[in-house]
Amino acid sequence: MQDLQSAEGMRERTDIKSMTKAELAEDFKRLGFPKYRADQVYGWLHAKGVESFDEMTNISKDMRSVLLQNYYIFNVTIEKKFVSAYDDTVKYLFKLDDGEYIESVLMHYHHGWTICISTQAGCRMGCTFCATGMGGFARNLRPSEMLSQITTAQRDNDIRISNVVLMGMGEPLDNFDNVMRFLELVSDLDGVGIGMRHISLSTCGVVDRIYELIDLKPQFTLSVSLHAPNDRLRSEMMPINKKWNVDRLLEACRKYAEATHRRISFEYSLIKDKNDTDECARELAGKLRGMLCHVNLIPVNTVKGNSYERSSPHQIQRFIRILENSGITATVRRTLGADINASCGQLRRRKKEESDGNIQQD
């Protein structure tokens, strides 16, 4: 767990939005405030999503000044925002207190608003098809920095978000403790109140953490970025496969599905002539046979820095048919925000290049 004490420039104040209700009550006791005050402040921070202590209108001025001396409320700042002309998708580039950038994507489905949030500034996993991986790793996000992506998008659009996917920048299971705390906070009914069944967490396959999750029996949906049916291909695309290969990953997934009775969603980005062949589809079907799972096919997003191309619609249909003929359900993910290039990592990378002086500002 990263230290909740503030970053540079914030004095030694505590990141209050990363604290659980119990921690807040304990801290307030130390400061001499009654317990109901902790509940009130927690409600302002999480249910109402206020951005300053001054917005807490039922808290006296004196108490607000004590709060300000001891805590700070973290908020992301909207650096850039792109709204799709095709659908209601909004892509945000958010700035953090230390000048780092992260991305989130807000999407509108028939069942409501979903936000895809980042869990790290960058990522250290280095997948060859991914813009985030190419942009390098800066640091883990704190729970407040994950929460603030949601509350800021809600405020900015005057909406309630009903679903959260941890599929933005970063590998959630590489920031395990902060992500678990974020999940506890976001799903609290006295807070943001987004139930675990409305949350998906996507991992590139950090197997030891998947086993830890099994013990926790989480109610969220686990998505596993598989992208290849064998070690030759997967190790080429995803360095983590050299640590935990396809068989070890799938063994953990099988145990997870058996223990939680929850269907795993396998993400598979289709890359032309690389992992989209009939042979790959048959191999994948063989590996997943009998598992409680679903395959989510994603036509790969082209990214500067590699030569990967999207599969043809014809080959995508063939791939699906082969999986379905083996009894494995598969769907192609709907592309939202096609005009604003909604996959994560590209805006941050561009911003970094700008500040390194490699390209001209817009």
Residues with catalytic roles: 103, 344
In whole angstroms, give the CA distance from residue 86 to residue 340: 9
- According to the binding rule CB under 6 A, does residue 129 interact with ligand SAH? yes
Q: Measured from the CB of residue 130, what is the shortest distance to ligand SAH in angstroms?
A: 4
Segment near ligand SF4 (CB under 6 A), from 90-98, 124-132, 256-264, 270-278? 124-132
User: Under rule CB under 6 A, which residues in 240-299 are in contact with ligand SAH?
Assistant: 267, 269, 298
- According to the binding rule CB under 6 A, does residue 127 interact with ligand SF4? yes
309-342 core/surface letters (b: 16 or more CB in 10 A; e: else): ebbeeebbebbbebbeeeebebebeeebbeebbb
In whole angstroms, give the CA distance from residue 282 to residue 70: 59
- According to the binding rule CB under 6 A, does residue 130 interact with ligand SAH? yes
CA-nearest of 281, 32, 50 to 147 is 50
269 binds, among ligand SF4, ligand SAH, none (CB under 5 to 8 A by kind): ligand SAH
Residue nearest to ligand SF4 (CB): 133
The residues, ordered by sequence, that sit 6+ positions from 333 with a Cβ below 8 Å of its Cβ are: 296, 297, 298
Segment near ligand SAH (CB under 6 A), from 87-95, 134-142, 196-204, 349-357? 196-204
Q: Measured from the CB of residue 267, what is the shortest distance to ligand SAH in angstroms?
A: 4
HEC profile for 176-234? HHHHHHHHHHHHCCCCCCCCHHHEEEEECCCHHHHHHHHHHCCCCEEEEECCCCCHHHH
In whole angstroms, give the CA distance from residue 321 to residue 327: 10
- From the list 123, 288, 328, 330, which residue makes contact with ligand SF4 (rule: CB under 6 A)? 123
Q: How many residues in the shown chain lie near ligand SF4 by CB under 6 A?
A: 11
Query: Is residue 331 a contact partner of residue 73, using CB atoms and an 8 Å limit?
Result: no
Residue 9 has what DSSP assignment?
A: T
| Phi (first) and psi of residue 110, to 5 degrees | -60, -25
- From the list 75, 84, 151, 301, which residue makes contact with ligand SAH (rule: CB under 6 A)? 301
Q: Measured from the CB of residue 53, what is the shortest distance to ligand SAH in angstroms?
A: 34
Neighbours of 42 (CB within 10 A): 23
- According to the binding rule CB under 6 A, does residue 316 interact with ligand SAH? no
User: Under rule CB under 6 A, which residues in 18-57 are in contact with ligand SF4?
Assistant: none
Q: Measured from the CB of residue 167, what is the shortest distance to ligand SF4 in angstroms?
A: 8
CA-nearest of 172, 129, 154 to 75 is 154
In whole angstroms, give the CA distance from residue 340 to residue 336: 9
300 binds, among ligand SF4, ligand SAH, none (CB under 5 to 8 A by kind): ligand SAH
Q: How many residues in the shown chain lie near ligand SAH by CB under 6 A?
A: 15
- Which x/- pattern over 155-184 shows residues binding ligand SF4 (rule: CB under 6 A)? ---------------xx-------------
For the record, the structure tokens of 309 come out as 């191309």
Segment near ligand SF4 (CB under 6 A), from 20-28, 129-137, 143-151, 276-284? 129-137
In whole angstroms, give the CA distance from residue 9 to residue 76: 16
- Which x/- pattern over 209-248 shows residues binding ligand SF4 (rule: CB under 6 A)? ----------------x-----------------------
- From the list 125, 153, 320, 340, which residue makes contact with ligand SF4 (rule: CB under 6 A)? 125
167 binds, among ligand SF4, ligand SAH, none (CB under 5 to 8 A by kind): ligand SAH
Q: How many helices (H) and strands (E) does the chain have?
A: 12, 14
Query: Is residue 292 a contact partner of residue 263, using CB atoms and an 8 Å limit?
Result: yes
301 binds, among ligand SAH, ligand SF4, none (CB under 5 to 8 A by kind): ligand SAH
Binding residues vs ligand SAH (CB under 6 A): 129-130, 167, 171, 202-204, 225, 267, 269, 298, 300-301, 303, 343
